[in-house]
Structure formats: structure tokens, C-alpha cells
Chain A
Amino acid sequence: MIRLSALQFRAQAATAAVALAVFAVILAVSGPHLLGLYDSSGVAACQAHGDCLPLASSFVNKLGGFYTVFYFIGIGFLLLVPAAIGTFWAAPLLAREFEAGTFQLAWTQSVTRTRWLAAKLGVGALAAVATAGLFSLLLTWWSGPIDTAAPFAKRNSITFLRLGYVLFPTRGIAPLGYAAFAFALGVTAGVLIRRTVPAMAATLATFLFIQIAWAIWVRPHLILPARTFVALTAANIPNAELAVGPGGSTIIVPNLPSMTGDWILSTQNIDPAGHPFNVATVKACQGNISQACSNTLSSLHLRAVIAYQPASRFWALQWYETGIFLAAALLLAGFCLWSIRSRHLNG
């Protein structure tokens, strides 16, 4: 049965192999030069001295159009791979059998339908995870220098945080979990809907929704966020920025080079009694941080409370997330097995 699943999967496997090969060649040819630029930029050593901003900026600015463009192409590609696996590989896998009636041919060979489905799921999921894994491995390696330097050069951009919405799902092992989950989701849609095109549409919509909802609502809390209190003083207020805080209040956000790479989830200003403080109530601070504003604020002994995920938690968060998506994939696969064994037997 495994041989048959592999045979029926060869067109998809060929597509994936070609895409992987093209991707690998581009990265393998350009990667060493990128690494050379990085090594000579001094970014690797600067973190010990805290003078990364000029070095990192110079490295990022020296990157040609190709590297910048391909950096984002790679991100887009890795975001698409799991969705494409679910939509184009998994959703038609069983839906097409029901639509064309071939399940009647498959289920009347001398193989139980449990084994039939186990082989189909096993071969497909393995291919899905391997494909996503290889893409991620290649891209994580190639993008490493830019990922390391960019947060120093573009300090306030979440786009370049390893923990941010864009990089996190396209690096490390997370794509493996997504691929397995998207595959199981697509197969489940096929079992439930039994028609190819609607199953594909449902898979794509559901997967994209889950990925976005997950990034916004779940990932920040996978591990209890760390909190730090920063005293707002005459030393750091002039470099700070005004921002919109909780409840439409105005807050002052200090600029903290030591937190480069950390994923800041929320910032709040509190007075010495611990009550939230609205900077908008200080007349001198309306519009911008003037000298008068700075003087007034520093006399109030305010503190900034920052909730964040430290950059050091990258791998812990990756493992948690991958584990959860793999577990969800297993649950969906279990549902498909149960459904094929009982529900379809009954109707």
C-alpha cells in the first residue's frame, strides 16, 4: 500500500523536488558571498562591545538588490509552502477519491481501509514535512547573516525580529509543524467535504485564518512573557518616543539597545504608586518630547513596564509551537481514520 501511495504521489513529489532544486541552487550560489560580506562587516563581534548600529547598518546597506529581494522572496515562499501543501497535496488526496468514485476500487482490494489511509497519510505527511524542512533549513542558513544584523540596523522594525510575525514562521523548525498540520487539515477537509475544489478552498481559508490568529493571539503567550521595569530618567527620556498606550492614553517608550532582538509585546508607564500614567496629562509633552517635557517627566519618577519575549526564547518558542501543530496534525489524522472506518462505512 505504501508503494501505491508513493506511486500516486509522484507528480506532487516531482513538483516539490524541482522547486527545492531551483531554490537550493540559488541559495547555494549566492550564500557564500553573503556570508563573506557578513564576516568582513564585523557584526559578528560587535555585540560584545555594544557598537553594532553603524556596523550593522553598513552591512545591510551594502547588500545589493538581489539579496534584499531574495530575502523577502524566501520569506514569502516559506509562508506559502505549508498553505500550498495543504491546498494542493492534501485536500485533493481523499476528496478526489470520493469525487471520482475510486474509493470503491481502493476499498475492495485486499487491504483494509485503515491501512489504506495510514499509508496515504504517512507517505503524504512525510513528504510534506520533508519538503517544508528542507526549504526552512536552506533559508534559515542563507538568511542567518541578515537576520542577525537587521535588528541592530533597523531597531524598531518588527519585520526583522526573529520572534516577529514575519521571520518566526519562516525559520527553524516551525515550518515542519505547519506543514504536517496543513497536510492533516487538507485531508480532513477532503474527508468532510468530499469534493476537490471546495475542500481546497476550505483548507486554504482555514489554514490562513489559523496561522494569522495564532500569531496574533496565541504565540505571544506560549510562554508567560517576561516583564522588566525601566526607570524613566533624564538620561533616557530624550531618546524615548511617544506612543499610544492602553485605553488611548499616551505613553513614553524608552529606547533600549540592550533589548535589541527581544519581542516587545506591550509597554506601560506607571507612577511611583504603581498606577498607570498618561503622558498626555503633561502639557509640555503634547506633540513631542521637548526639553520641558523631559524635565517634568524625569521629576515624576515614572517607570516603564515592558512585557516581552526575550530573543533567547526563540528555540523554546519554536519547539512549543512545532509540538502543538504536530499534535494537532495527529489529532486530525486520528479523526480521519475514525471517520473513514466508521462514518463512511455508514454513509
Chain B
Amino acid sequence: MSVVIQTSGLGKRYRRTWALRDCTLAIPEGRVVGLVGPNGAGKTTLLRLAAGLLAPTCGTISVLGQRPAAGPAQLARVGFVAQDTPVYARMSVADHLRLGAWLNPAWDDELARRRIAQLGLDPKQRAGSLSGGQRAQLALTLALAKRPELLILDEPVASLDPLARREFLRGLMESVAEHGVSVVLSSHLVADLERVCDYLVVLVASRVRVAGEVSALLASHCRLSGPRRDPGALPAGVEIVEESHTDKQSLLLVRTDQPIHDPSWTITPVSMEDLVIGYMSRARDDRTHRLQAVS
């Protein structure tokens, strides 16, 4: 399996606070990867490091086998859509396409024009007067027409209304299908990722909590409910991700590589959202425990 982003012990510090710390991960090629985690997990920092907008404080990162922003050739292979999809407010849509054509050797002008036409954008309109959804689409068009091997999107739909969000993601998926580009997409909205991602990375407090194919993750996790009992009594190979107990009942989210035959458990499949929230709350509990241990 070839990787598009590989990091090892990656850290980024702003003055005295660490935005990302000791992050080690490998993101495979040819997938639509959802990077999900709570606010402050380091998603934006990680993606900016991958785009070469930031330099790491420590550790290493390689993108498509090279240091990010190592030179024009490396820059040409990576497309980036920043948070809030910034574009030049005073420049027209057509000017943005010219910008793309001038600054990118592999620019696909036909693709850019077709997308702008499909979106119904007026090329003469100034980007500053576009709606949030249109602006995001323009930014995506610029990134796609660059014909990158890897497309990185940082919370591209966070500020869009549900309809614009759906259209943006649909446009993204069509292009992915057409050009076979690898995508890394961050979001804290699991519902969006569920629609488009086939690979999931859950990042909490700089740490990768779980990573893998969405279908494999969903198959290997399940929710168990039954009469209250000691979670330690579960068979070997079953790992508890999240647990909650009432006086009479136990509710578990587990990862298992084997079927569970105990008839006293009611087994239900998990959704992506269950999975993500399970891992996020486990990370929070870990931290709470650690803090308690320290104090």
C-alpha cells in the first residue's frame, strides 16, 4: 500500500502551546480520507503542515514522498483548499482561472471552464460577491484544475448551508471519480464524511485513535447491550472502545475480530458517527484519568 502522507513524531508549536504533538500516521493512496476529530485536535495544523504552509517544529512529514512545498514540482502535485475557502475578493471568477493557468504548469483549463459553467457562475463576477457555497466551489475548481495527485481540503464545508454542502461534496466526488485523485478531507461533521469517505482517521489531541477502511471499521465494531456485568468478562480479542453502565444494563462499543456468540448480549451494528464519537469520548476519558492521576 502506497502512502500519500506519512508523518513520524510530527509536532508543531506556536510560541508555548503545541498545536500538534507527536503525531505519527500514514494515509494511503487512492482513497477519500476523512480526518475527523474535535476542535483543537490539530487537524488544521496537520493539513497546513502537509500543504507546506507551516514547517514542523519537530518530527518529519513527507507528502507524495517529498518534503511539503519542496519546490514547484512538489507544489504542483498537491491541491489545497484552506479553511473558509479564501479567494481574492477583488478579482473576478475569470481572473481566478487566469491565476490558476499562469501559476500551474499542468492546469486543465477545459476542466475549470466546464466546472464554472456547470456551477452557473458568471466569469465576470467578482469573487467577493459570491455566496459562501459559490466561493467554496471556486476554490475547489482552482484546486482540481491544477490536476493534483493529492487534494487536501480543510473543513471545506464547515461554513456552508446543508444544500451548498451537499452540492460541494457531490462535485468533489464526481471529480474524484473522474480523475482518481487521492483526497484528504477534514471535518468535525461526521455526517458529511459518511457520505464521501472510504477511509477514516480519528485524531484526538494530536493522536491517531483509530484509522482504517470505513467498511472494515464498521464490520469490526459493534454495539453490545445486555444485563449489567463486568466488562472484564469479555472474551480475548474483544476491545472495549466505550462503555456505559446503569444499575441493570451495560452498553458497550467494542472492536472485535471475531463473532460474539454470547446470547445474553444484544448485538447491533454501529454507524460511522457512533464509531467516531466512541473513540473521541474514550480519548477524553483517557485524558481525564491522566489528569486525575497527575493531581
Contact = CB atoms under 8 A, between A and B. Distances in A.
A58 B100 CA distance: 64
A101 B86 contact: yes
A105 interface: yes
A111 B72 CA distance: 5
Contact of A345 (B54, B73, B78, B90): B54
Contacts of A113: 69
Contacts of B100: 109
A278 to B, nearest CB: 60
Sorting the interface of chain A by its residue count into under 10, 10 to 19, 20 to 34 or 35 or more gives 20 to 34
Contact of B82 (A3, A105, A347): A105
Nearest to B74: A110
A299 interface: no
B100 to A, nearest CB: 7
Contacts of B82: 101, 104-105, 108
A11 interface: yes
A100 interface: yes
Contacts of B69: 107, 112-113
A107 B15 CA distance: 23
A113 B72 CA distance: 10
Interface string B77-99: 01110111011111100010011
Contacts of A8: 88, 90-91
A110 B95 contact: no
A54 B52 CA distance: 72
B51 interface: yes
A8 B95 CA distance: 9
Given A8-B88, A110-B75, A104 B103 contact: no
A223 interface: no
B103 A112 contact: no
B76 A110 contact: yes
B98 A111 contact: no
B159 to A, nearest CB: 12
Given A1-B103, A109-B104, A111-B75, A347 B86 contact: no
Contacts of A101: 82-84, 86
Contacts of B106: 110
B57 to A, nearest CB: 8
B71 A108 contact: no
Contacts of A112: 69, 71-72, 75
A7 B98 contact: yes
B50 to A, nearest CB: 10
A205 B272 CA distance: 57
Contact of A108 (B14, B15, B51, B87): B51
A296 B198 CA distance: 106
A61 B277 CA distance: 88
Interface of A: 1, 3-4, 7-8, 11, 100-102, 104-105, 107-113, 342, 345-347
Interface of B: 14-15, 48, 51-55, 57, 69, 71-73, 75-76, 78-80, 82-84, 86-91, 95, 98-100, 102-106, 139, 142-143, 146
Given A101-B82, A346-B57, 16 more contacts: A4-B98, A8-B88, A101-B83, A105-B82, A105-B142, A107-B52, A108-B78, A109-B75, A109-B146, A110-B72, A110-B75, A110-B104, A112-B69, A112-B75, A345-B54, A346-B55
